[in-house]
Structure 1
Amino acid sequence: MKAVIMAGGEGSRLRPLTCDRPKPMVPVMDRPIMEHIIKLLKKHNLIDIGVTLMYLPEEIKDYFGDGREYGVNLQYFVEETPLGTAGSVKNGEEFLDQPFLVISGDALTDFDLSDIIRFHREKEAAVTIVLTQVENPLEYGVVITDREGRIKQFLEKPSWGEVFSDTVNTGIYVIEPEILGLIPGKTKFDFSKDLFPLLLEKGYPMYGCVMPGYWCDIGSLAQYRQAHYDILSGAARIEIPGKELVKGVWVGDGTEIDPDTRFEPPVFIGDNVKIGKDISINNFSVIGSNSILDEGASLKKSIVWSNVYIGKKGTLRGATVCNRVKVKSHAAIYEGAVVGDDTILDMYAVVKPGVKIWPNKNVEKGTVLSESLVWGTKVSKNLFGTNGITGEINVDITPEFASKLGAAYGVCIKKQGQVAVGADGSGPSQMIKNAITTGLLSAGCHVLDLGQTVAPLGRYAVRTLGVNGGLQVSTFDGDKTRISFFNEKGANILKAEERKIENAFFREDFSRVTGNQVSLPSIFPDIINCYLKDLTNGLDVRAITRNGFKIFIQYDNVCLGEFVPRVLEEVGCDAVFARDDNNGFEQQSKDGSHYVTKEGCDLGAIFADDGERLILIDHMGRTLDDNMITALVSLIMFKTNQHCTVVVPVTASSVIDQIAARYKGKIIRTKTASQFLMNKVLDTQVVNTQTTYKQYQLQFDAFKTFVTILDYLAREKISLAQAIDSVPRFY
């Protein structure tokens, strides 16, 4: 009698445990599942073993080799394409020249295989299927037999209405070699779906052997944990490595345990583990080899793999932690959570129940992780960066993330407050906007949907409609998304407000309303027309039109393509349009300079995808960067608003101080972050000094900046080049 271990399983339902290894190599009690199977086979004198492989086959070959170390002879058969359960065994047909036992390499059992073989021979069966009784047969193939054990009927994974037996197929078979002739070669063919119904139809003697004992196919993360608990409790008669130091505490070789360690059996500790002072290891915990537990760490019902570090006061409760994970001091992992290989949990990080972390992730200090982390490499307790929340679409920023973010933002808005939401015309932005809207509605907010917008339009809507806050979703660099939050003035929210949203998000401290308190979003499609009318308010449009500017315009956003021409139409300018979706904002300035001079334009304007940044080009091809535009805007403000106050970042050139002195104006310098600058610019004491032009619109609205500069040039009857030359030089 030979044996075949089916070890080609990918184990997708066990991810992230199986991200870097085939399912048979997932450790149970610090040993791969397949190692337990090999020991069981050897115990029953099945030492000539074929192994069918497909997913990551070298992982298994490298670990077990030829089997000599385990007292068996292993031969491997690798599937190049999926062949199904029966097809994979057919792949080793030359090896299987006598009756053979088939067993899964990713299930755990203590069945008496000798009894199964004896049953097969006594019945003179062509195939014997090992059956066992389970409480819930829905996930397995149900088998019904007559009194002699001969199989009469199969049903694969029935519903409760179809269940006619609690005896299920364990995936362990004894098969006569001639049966292999009924399996087509190099074709996907399954035992349960294809071969067994065929044998039943042809009248082959097939028997079901109902076995007492333990069997678990480890088809889920919960079953994986339960398998450990069953072994430690004695429900599964599977060898526990190491020595039983005291009753219910097994310890491997070379392990160092501080005398003050508190145990609550049953517990297993592998080889060369170091356990520090004041550590508590409670019932049903498993610690893999070469791991370190630092002072004050505490484990309950947790499974820790090899080479893991648990820092001071680290806490594990019902968690599974894979190889080489570092759990730093005061970090905590809770029930049902799984942490993949080579992940680092920094100090005070918390992984909430049921969260799964894929391998090679970095959870930053103090982060509370309440959603599974699959993509990306790092998660932080800070959602906000220097300019809102940014990330890769459907990787960092998913609809689930966005809905939760909307609920968190809703908590920070006053009860039944109004929020204006907008997004550019891209599919990803609209998707994320809709998801955020869902979260806001669940928190009881009234949502005003602005449709397709850009940030300046969203800011304008917040101020004009008198709502409590707003947000804009924008796509940039092809696959990245930015979410910008506005306060009631239309400025970016301050750090304190960002922290409130972050705290609500990570703590999941959401205030949900009842169903009858959830409102429908209000649609405001006409906001763009209101904005365009306001855009030219206070400008001498006739003077701009009379000037007859010929302008080169470039943009890289679908929404801008619908919006920018209407801006030019409002001021009656002739424009040469170009769209560039491939090059970055800065690269476009080089191309724009060429076009301006080539087409003989008076000036050029390149709009960034967010509608807030602008590059200007004079007729000679000279470009104005952010610093130069800040200086030019300051000049316009001081020249047209006598004795006014202008706000600039601390990094702005001292040239602006010279301009202020020339026109008897005042400079206020702020931190460089946009929210500080915006909110200071909107300060009443600053705004009241500005009569002709308002700095806020000039500084943070590229369209208003553009048309205001056109207005200034038309009134002064100068070119953009002359305006640039009137600004003192700076270096």
Structure 2
Amino acid sequence: MYIGKKNEIFDYAVIGAKCKLKNKVKVQHAAKIWPNKTIAEKTKVKGSIVWGEQRPNVLFRQNGISMRAHVDAHPIFITQLASAYSSLHEKGSHILIGFDNHPLSQALGSLFTQCLHMYGMHTNVYEGGYLPAFRYILSHKQYRGGVFVTLNEHDEVVIDIHDEQGFPIDCTMERAIEQRMEHEHHMSAMQMGEAMKQKENDEMYIRALRQAISFSSSERWKVVVASSPLLKHIIERTLLLFAVDVVWTKERDDEHIRKLIEQEQAQFAIVFDYSGERFRMFDGQGVVLTKEEMISLHVLTSLLFSETKKVAVPSWAPSVLHTLAERLHGEMIYVKDTRRDLLLAHHEPFHFYLDGLYACIQLLHLLAIERCSLRTIVSSIPTIHLSCRDVHCPWDERAAVMRKLLEESYDKHVDFTDGMKVYHEDGAWTLILPKVDEPTLTIYSQAANAQKAKEYTKYYIKKIRQYQNV
């Protein structure tokens, strides 16, 4: 737990484990903050920021369904979810099920599978734990959908539901599942589903990845990799095909990663999340690449190494990357900052920003061509001045706050691709982006210099707090 300076915590307030309270936070009498929450500076927590409280009455979050392990992830919920999900498919449909090697994930995944059988669905199991490979299999085989069950770094069970094309399901299907969970659905012993005998594995994905990226180098590359033991096999096996020596570790501590990079003289390091979809990068000097640098590399590699000349980026991506895209005779388009929107707009089987293994190989490809370090490449990208901060905004006040911000911007150009993006007269912009699964607004500002970007961000944070009467 981290408690900043000049905080006030009143009687009977409860703060969960691993919370971060920035400076000058005031937690009012009897307020509760659930574990793993970050409370922005100068926030007054009047009520409770707890799972199930002060959230919209929806089941799906940004990365699927997230539940506290051993608390919310119970058998009754799983059977209700499987019942609702199966009611949206024809009997006899084939569904792909994936889960990691944690006993709870396996138990819940197996229970979900058995429930689908009871509702007439046929199933098959993906034996790997790598979500991008799971998505690839879905998009290239005749499954009607897929369900991926994992335990994340916060001891939350994540149930990630995908459609037949390998994309996270859309909002319409999410709402349909939520509505149908409130009702019972008929099952028939005469139409029981079955499990397929030939299970899926990583081979199809690895083979396609090797065919998609054809580069060779006389140099022997070395990369530090931090991941769960389950992902170790696919990572090492794939990188070996590209003549890459892997220094694997299960430790994710930044200082440990930096020491390994220095000791092993590695080109860079990559730290995978629980599913392999999200990741962090360290350059050869042990410096963590920023969010802006990662999206810049996405633009660079996508336009360099793919046939398409369009690259989709999240709404917060810096406008200066248009210059980079034009330099590569390509075009950059903004989409909502959701996995589904980014994948739908990509039109390629692999995605740099949502596939750590693919990103790792493409960076090695880039280094082989440029014959320089990762830091040198990042430094050559146009300078980005982007400020980003979170500000607490209760669920029941969010709509009113956004409406007041819009009214204030009546004389400015405003874009609603994702959240509310206000363009300023000096060419700068500010994006107010509500978080799907937290009572928080994220403020991004881009300007001609870092100081100006921070000033715009501070201005909107002040306004948001003012409109909350904080």
Decide whether the 8 Å contact of 2:64 with 2:159 is kept in 1: yes
- Whole-Å Cα distance in 1 between the matches of residues 381 and 125 of structure 2? 42
| Alignment correspondent of 2:195 | 521
Corresponding letter in the other structure for 2:336: K
Decide whether the 8 Å contact of 2:92 with 2:193 is kept in 1: no
Decide whether the 8 Å contact of 1:404 with 1:439 is kept in 2: no
Decide whether the 8 Å contact of 1:642 with 1:663 is kept in 2: no
Corresponding letter in the other structure for 1:461: I
1:550 to 222, 240, 244: 222
| Alignment correspondent of 2:115 | 439
1:517 is displaced (CA, Å) by 1.3
- Whole-Å Cα distance in 2 between the matches of residues 566 and 575 of structure 1? 10
Decide whether the 8 Å contact of 1:451 with 1:524 is kept in 2: no
Decide whether the 8 Å contact of 1:458 with 1:471 is kept in 2: no
| Alignment correspondent of 1:633 | 298
2:264 to 579, 588, 599: 599
Matches within 5 A, 1:312-331: none
2:315 is the alignment partner of 1:661: no
Structure 1: 4+ residue segments shifted above 4 A? 375-380
1:570 is displaced (CA, Å) by 2.3
Closer, same or farther: CA 469–718 of 1 in aligned 2, 3 Å? same
Matches within 5 A, 1:58-77: none
| Alignment correspondent of 2:84 | 408
- Whole-Å Cα distance in 1 between the matches of residues 209 and 356 of structure 2? 11
1:406 is displaced (CA, Å) by 1.3
Decide whether the 8 Å contact of 2:292 with 2:384 is kept in 1: no
Q: SS at the partner of 2:313?
A: strand
| Alignment correspondent of 1:576 | 247
Closer, same or farther: CA 696–496 of 1 in aligned 2, 3 Å? farther
Decide whether the 8 Å contact of 2:99 with 2:106 is kept in 1: yes
Closer, same or farther: CA 409–503 of 1 in aligned 2, 3 Å? same
Decide whether the 8 Å contact of 1:554 with 1:578 is kept in 2: yes
1:198-252 deviations in Å (ceiling 9; x for gaps):
xxxxxxxxxxxxxxxxxxxxxxxxxxxxxxxxxxxxxxxxxxxxxxxxxxxxxxx
Identity within the alignment, %: 23
Corresponding letter in the other structure for 2:117: L
Closer, same or farther: CA 641–565 of 1 in aligned 2, 3 Å? closer
Indicate the structure whose relative CO is greater, using CA pairs within 8 Å and at least 6 residues apart: 2
1:472 to 148, 153, 158: 148
Decide whether the 8 Å contact of 1:638 with 1:663 is kept in 2: yes
| Alignment correspondent of 1:534 | 208
- Whole-Å Cα distance in 1 between the matches of residues 258 and 240 of structure 2? 23
Closer, same or farther: CA 378–725 of 1 in aligned 2, 3 Å? closer
| Alignment correspondent of 1:383 | 59
The number of aligned residues is 338
1:380 is displaced (CA, Å) by 6.5
Decide whether the 8 Å contact of 1:589 with 1:615 is kept in 2: no
1:561 is displaced (CA, Å) by 2.8
1:710 to 354, 357, 364: 364
- Whole-Å Cα distance in 1 between the matches of residues 384 and 311 of structure 2? 19
Corresponding letter in the other structure for 2:213: L
| Alignment correspondent of 1:679 | 344
1:523 is displaced (CA, Å) by 4.2
Closer, same or farther: CA 434–642 of 1 in aligned 2, 3 Å? closer
1:628 is displaced (CA, Å) by 1.4
Corresponding letter in the other structure for 1:613: R
Q: SS at the partner of 1:536?
A: helix
Corresponding letter in the other structure for 1:570: L
| Alignment correspondent of 1:730 | 384
- Of 721-730 and 646-655, more deviation after overlay is shown by 721-730
Q: SS at the partner of 2:296?
A: helix
Matches within 5 A, 1:196-215: none
Corresponding letter in the other structure for 2:247: V
- Whole-Å Cα distance in 2 between the matches of residues 655 and 537 of structure 1? 33
Corresponding letter in the other structure for 1:385: R
Closer, same or farther: CA 698–511 of 1 in aligned 2, 3 Å? farther
1:658-691 deviations in Å (ceiling 9; x for gaps):
111222312221111222222232xxxxx3xxxx
Q: SS at the partner of 2:206?
A: helix
Closer, same or farther: CA 601–496 of 1 in aligned 2, 3 Å? same
- Whole-Å Cα distance in 1 between the matches of residues 297 and 197 of structure 2? 38
- Whole-Å Cα distance in 2 between the matches of residues 562 and 695 of structure 1? 21
2:225 is the alignment partner of 1:560: no
Task: Name structure 1 gaps, 5 residues minimum.
Answer: 1-361, 365-374, 682-686, 688-693
Corresponding letter in the other structure for 2:146: G
Decide whether the 8 Å contact of 2:151 with 2:157 is kept in 1: yes
- Whole-Å Cα distance in 1 between the matches of residues 145 and 84 of structure 2? 13
Decide whether the 8 Å contact of 1:444 with 1:518 is kept in 2: yes
1:644 to 284, 303, 309: 309
1:717 is displaced (CA, Å) by 2.9
| Alignment correspondent of 1:448 | 124
Q: SS at the partner of 1:531?
A: helix
- Whole-Å Cα distance in 1 between the matches of residues 145 and 80 of structure 2? 17
Corresponding letter in the other structure for 1:432: L
Task: Name structure 2 gaps, 5 residues minimum.
Answer: 1-47, 386-470
1:376-434 deviations in Å (ceiling 9; x for gaps):
77897411112100011221111221122112111122342211110011111111111
Decide whether the 8 Å contact of 2:116 with 2:193 is kept in 1: no
Q: SS at the partner of 2:166?
A: coil
Closer, same or farther: CA 448–656 of 1 in aligned 2, 3 Å? same
Corresponding letter in the other structure for 1:569: L
Decide whether the 8 Å contact of 1:406 with 1:438 is kept in 2: no
1:426 to 99, 102, 106: 102
Decide whether the 8 Å contact of 1:650 with 1:671 is kept in 2: yes
Decide whether the 8 Å contact of 1:638 with 1:659 is kept in 2: no
- Whole-Å Cα distance in 2 between the matches of residues 524 and 669 of structure 1? 41
Corresponding letter in the other structure for 1:494: D
| Alignment correspondent of 2:175 | 499
- Whole-Å Cα distance in 2 between the matches of residues 502 and 526 of structure 1? 29
Decide whether the 8 Å contact of 1:459 with 1:491 is kept in 2: yes
Decide whether the 8 Å contact of 1:429 with 1:475 is kept in 2: yes
Larger gyration radius, structure 1 or structure 2: 1
Decide whether the 8 Å contact of 1:631 with 1:655 is kept in 2: no
Decide whether the 8 Å contact of 1:643 with 1:664 is kept in 2: no
Matches within 5 A, 1:49-198: none
1:642 is displaced (CA, Å) by 6.7
- Whole-Å Cα distance in 2 between the matches of residues 496 and 376 of structure 1? 22
- Whole-Å Cα distance in 2 between the matches of residues 505 and 652 of structure 1? 37
Closer, same or farther: CA 523–729 of 1 in aligned 2, 3 Å? farther
1:174-220 deviations in Å (ceiling 9; x for gaps):
xxxxxxxxxxxxxxxxxxxxxxxxxxxxxxxxxxxxxxxxxxxxxxx
1:269-295 deviations in Å (ceiling 9; x for gaps):
xxxxxxxxxxxxxxxxxxxxxxxxxxx
Closer, same or farther: CA 405–643 of 1 in aligned 2, 3 Å? closer
1:584-631 deviations in Å (ceiling 9; x for gaps):
xxxx34432332123321211111112011212221222213331111
1:554 is displaced (CA, Å) by 1.1
- Whole-Å Cα distance in 2 between the matches of residues 551 and 565 of structure 1? 10
- Whole-Å Cα distance in 2 between the matches of residues 452 and 632 of structure 1? 27
Corresponding letter in the other structure for 1:665: G
- Whole-Å Cα distance in 2 between the matches of residues 653 and 590 of structure 1? 29
- Whole-Å Cα distance in 2 between the matches of residues 651 and 695 of structure 1? 24
